[in-house]
């Protein structure tokens, strides 16, 4: 089991607050049967250069790997990655490829939280066709509410992008007499797609804790084991 989207590295973004917390989160991942996590701290181009980000991320990763090797608990392996927030002209910025998941040409892209424009489409298309990147759209369920006009959404989803859904969004929450809209969207989306990645997007040990196992179980309950197998197949394709 692979958790493709996590904020387990300490003191680099709004995820883990300390080395101890990182180890607890990783031990929890292992307890759920996760064998590999991709560490995907937030990268915001307006805050930091790619070089500075990579130096900070790699330092945090070395610290965690060092601490894991000293502990007696089982831990998953960690692959270095990033959750790259969309920025204008990123499609032509070749340095973006430095932010791909270790050993791959796969980029976890966080899309704008607003109406997507044709410029957004162009940039995503350039990342794929000019830069030859495999683009994974982080938590695809979190943007749909902003797309009053769905034409760009539809166009982007016809590109060979790989959608990722947060496992927590698949865990059904009932609101009085209505089912949760995000849950409904995710199930309908998962039904129609032949490529999908689940990730916990865990940030801590409280309200955004590692929950990949529960998400997989919820997907299986809703759509059967073939849906879970489809997510495993997608992640293998993406990580090579
Ligand atoms: Fe995230």
What pLDDT sits at residue 177? Answer: 65
User: What would the two tokens of residue 236 be?
Assistant: 């293998």
DSSP code for 103: T
What pLDDT sits at residue 172? Answer: 72
Give the CA count within 13 Å in the CB-facing half-sphere of 224: 2
What pLDDT sits at residue 178? Answer: 67
Give the CA count within 13 Å in the CB-facing half-sphere of 171: 14
**How far, in Å, from the CA of 217 to the mean position of ligand 1?**
21
Per-block mean pLDDT, blocks of 10 residues, the chain (240 long):
98 97 98 98 97 98 97 96 97 97 98 98 98 98 97 98 97 70 94 97 96 97 97 96
Give the CA count within 13 Å in the CB-facing half-sphere of 92: 4
**How far, in Å, from the CA of 137 to the mean position of ligand 1?**
11
**How far, in Å, from the CA of 30 to the mean position of ligand 1?**
19
**How far, in Å, from the CA of 201 to the mean position of ligand 1?**
5
Task: Report the DSSP beta bridge partners of residue 134.
Answer: 106
What pLDDT sits at residue 30? Answer: 98
**How far, in Å, from the CA of 222 to the mean position of ligand 1?**
24
**How far, in Å, from the CA of 67 to the mean position of ligand 1?**
23
**How far, in Å, from the CA of 181 to the mean position of ligand 1?**
20
**How far, in Å, from the CA of 16 to the mean position of ligand 1?**
12
**How far, in Å, from the CA of 38 to the mean position of ligand 1?**
11
**How far, in Å, from the CA of 176 to the mean position of ligand 1?**
29
What are the structural domains of the chain? 2-239 (3.20.20.140)
- Would you call 84 exposed, middle or buried from its count of C-beta atoms within 10 A (0-12, 13-18, 19+)? buried
**How far, in Å, from the CA of 60 to the mean position of ligand 1?**
17
Q: What pTM was computed for the model?
A: 0.96
Question: CA-to-CA distance for 74 and 59, rounded, in angstroms?
Answer: 22
Question: CA-to-CA distance for 70 and 42, rounded, in angstroms?
Answer: 27
**How far, in Å, from the CA of 138 to the mean position of ligand 1?**
7
């Amino acid at each position: 089991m692979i958790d493709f989207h996590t904020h387990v590295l300490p003191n680099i973004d709004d995820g883990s607050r300390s080395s101890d917390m990182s180890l607890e989160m990783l031990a929890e991942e292992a307890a759920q049967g996760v064998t590999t996590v991709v560490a995907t701290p937030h990268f915001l181009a307006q805050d930091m250069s790619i070089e500075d980000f990579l130096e900070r991320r790699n330092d945090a990763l070395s610290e965690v790997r060092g601490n894991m090797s000293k502990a007696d608990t089982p831990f998953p392996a960690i692959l270095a990655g990033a959750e790259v927030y969309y920025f204008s002209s990123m499609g032509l910025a070749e340095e973006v490829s430095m932010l791909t998941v270790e050993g791959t040409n796969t980029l976890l892209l966080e899309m704008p939280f607003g109406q997507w424009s044709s410029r957004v489409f162009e940039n995503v298309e350039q990342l794929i066709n000019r830069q030859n990147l495999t683009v994974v759209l982080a938590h695809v369920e979190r943007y749909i509410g902003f797309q009053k006009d769905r034409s760009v959404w539809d166009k982007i989803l016809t590109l060979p992008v790989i959608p990722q859904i947060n496992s927590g969004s698949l865990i059904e929450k009932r609101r009085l007499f209505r089912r949760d809209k995000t849950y409904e969207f995710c199930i309908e989306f998962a039904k129609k797609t032949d490529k999908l990645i689940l990730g916990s997007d865990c940030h801590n040990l409280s309200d955004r804790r590692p929950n990949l196992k529960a998400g997989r179980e919820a997907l299986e309950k809703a759509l059967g084991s073939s849906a879970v197998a489809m997510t495993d197949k997608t992640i293998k394709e993406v990580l090579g």
